[in-house]
Amino acid sequence: MGILLKLSGLIDGLTRLIGKSIIWLILAAAVISALNAIARKAFNVGSNSFLEIQWYLFSAVFMFGAGYTFLQNAHVRIDAVANNFSKRTRTFIDIGGILIFLLPLCYFMIDFSWPIVEAAYTSGEVSSNSGGLIRWPVYIMVPIGFGLLALQAVSELIKRFGYLAGKAPDPTLHGGHGDTPTEQHETDAAKATQ
Whether 184 is covered by a domain: the verdict is no
Closest CA relative to residue 156, chosen from 94, 90, 88, 87: 94
pTM of the full structure: 0.81
Structural domain that includes position 8: 2-170
| DSSP-based helix, strand, coil % in the chain, nearest 5 | 75, 0, 20
Whether 189 is covered by a domain: the verdict is no
CA distances from 115 to 22, 133, 140, 165 (A): 26, 19, 10, 41
- The two most distant CA atoms of the chain are separated, in Å, by 72
For the segment 47-104, what is each residue's pLDDT rounded down to a tens digit? 788 888 988 999 999 999 999 999 988 777 666 677 788 888 888 988 999 999 999 9
Whether 108 is covered by a domain: the verdict is yes
Count of domains in the chain?
1
Whether 154 is covered by a domain: the verdict is yes
Whether 187 is covered by a domain: the verdict is no
Whether 192 is covered by a domain: the verdict is no
For the segment 115-152, what is each residue's pLDDT rounded down to a tens digit? 999 999 999 998 888 777 899 999 999 999 999 999 99
Whether 181 is covered by a domain: the verdict is no
Whether 175 is covered by a domain: the verdict is no
Q: How far apart are CA 80 and CA 100, in angstroms?
A: 22
